[in-house]
A and B are shown apart, each in its own frame.
Chain A
Amino acid sequence: MSSALDRVKINEGNREPRQALVLLLDSSDSMAGTSINEVNDGVRTLQTLLRDPEEATAKRVELAIVTFGGTARLVQDFVEASRFEATPLSVQGLTPMGEAIRLGLDMVEERKQLYRSNGLEYFRPWIFLITDGKPTDEWKRAAERVHRAEAEKRVAFYAVGTEDADFHILGQIAPPDRQPLRLKDGKWREMFQWLSRSMQIVSRSKPGDQAPLETPTGWGTTPG
């Protein structure tokens, strides 16, 4: 081998393209018991699957978690999936979903600014909301912001409700082209597995790819 080619250095400073994922998790009183346990298990499943060494997700996905129970709280600021450590969530209070949504949208825009100023490539960020009820705070402005962000392709917003969720309101919050899903009874793990696989699909998509996701019918239904 030519000695000159042996000396070719690759720029290791160019880092992986980023896939931001914000989880907006209902931690209101009504989630006490089974539901919050399932959410905690699910987040641990996400942690394990995103760190799969066979996939690009560990280095590409950046996970943030906002809970809404009593207040909207940032419990995990963006962290690379390879370094994410799930901590158990607890429940309290009412459901400030509107505030959580606004916070999630702000975080996404700030993160993109950070990527741009650091010369990092990135994919379209995701916001994934899970609730068992309805907002107890102002939510219409949040809904407008969600719709605008989707129309401008600034974010991909997913909403999931359990059996007891208010789909009339959730349907107004979710983007028109991506209506909320109702979680099938007991299918929490399947939902979190779908979310990990979706992250694998989008975070390795190449320029020009359509990157179709798996259908969520294993765990979710479209509320009638």
Chain B
Amino acid sequence: MTGTWCHVGASARGPSHERDGTACEDAWTAWCDGARLLLAVADGAGSSSLAEVGARIAVSTAAEHARTCWSSAELAAVARACVVAARTAIVAEASRRETSARELASTLIVVLAEGARVAVAQVGDGGVVGAVSETEFVMLSAPSRGEYANEATFVTSESWQSDLRVHQRDGILGICAFSDGCQRACLVAGAQPRPFDSFFEPIFEFIREISDVEAAQGELAAMLHNPQFRDHSDDDKTLVIAWSGVTAARPS
């Protein structure tokens, strides 16, 4: 059973960076090609001087690697390889700039979908939620954190390999990938975070209703800039949504 994927996404610079006059350090990209979809979301480390560069390299390298090395039979392995390629590219750029990779530190989420199968590879926080129907949602990949709220692992960290999580799941109609600026808003926290239904139901309804993608992109960006989101988190926020246009066959 195959579906055609479509996607819409936006990033919003958070109040904290607005006050500092610094750039948004989130980056994202997406492409789709019939039944195939790639989403990538990255969040540059606040304390890194070239964070936005690291984040942009991460997502563009991941997207390029997926395009050239796609394998329907090995989605999860390709997703993992996208993360590895992103890390290599960041390290190379750091070397070119004669600085340490730490200055380009970034988290990275890579989502590959083909039909109703989705694979996610992730280092760091932010996460991915999947829709198994219009009203039921599952964690496809959860944020990782150290014990403390200000600990994080980046693709450039020493421990990146042990932090790298890869998941694959079938039966997915919709995907939402988000950076950590959104995660406290859209997840129910706990030992096992889970999707907050009242967030995701309207989000997936929104993408199903889209007729004008550019206008929709603007509406999504406006939402991330609205008072509700701004008050909730000072951080940069990125939200990328995808829908496959397949109506799930309900089990009888």
A interface residue numbers (CB < 8 A to B): 1-2, 4-11, 13-14, 17, 116, 119-124, 202, 204-211
Contacts and interface: CB of A to CB of B under 8 A. Distances in A.
Contact of B184 (A2, A14, A209): A14
18 contacts: A1-B223, A2-B216, A4-B205, A8-B223, A10-B185, A10-B186, A10-B229, A11-B196, A13-B188, A121-B149, A123-B148, A124-B148, A206-B16, A207-B45, A208-B150, A208-B152, A208-B154, A209-B150
B10 to A, nearest CB: 11
A84 to B, nearest CB: 21
Interface in B205-247: 205-206, 209, 216, 219-220, 222-223, 228-229, 232, 234-235
Contacts of B105: 208
A208 B125 CA distance: 11
Contacts of A1: 219, 222-223
Given A8-B203, A9-B199, A14 B152 contact: no
A2 B206 contact: yes
Interface string B42-58: 00011110000000000
A209 B148 CA distance: 11
B209 A4 contact: yes
B180 interface: yes
B150 A211 contact: yes
Contacts, number: 102
A208 B148 contact: no
B189 interface: yes
Contacts of B45: 207-209
Which of B187, B196, B232 counts the most chain A CB atoms within 10 A?
B196
A146 B223 CA distance: 47
Given A2-B206, A207-B125, A207-B180, A11 B219 contact: no
B169 interface: no
B34 interface: no
A5 B196 contact: no
B21 interface: no
Which of B105, B186, B216 counts the most chain A CB atoms within 10 A?
B186
A205 B228 CA distance: 21
Given A5-B219, A122-B148, 10 more contacts: A2-B206, A10-B186, A10-B199, A11-B187, A123-B148, A123-B149, A206-B46, A207-B125, A207-B180, A208-B151
Contacts of B152: 207-208
A7 to B, nearest CB: 4
A119 B151 contact: no
Given A208-B45, A208-B150, A209-B47, A14 B187 contact: yes
A168 to B, nearest CB: 33
A208 B185 contact: no
B149 A122 contact: yes
Contacts of B206: 2, 4-5, 8
Contact of A8 (B125, B191, B199, B209): B199
A117 to B, nearest CB: 9
A4 B199 CA distance: 10
A204 B19 CA distance: 14
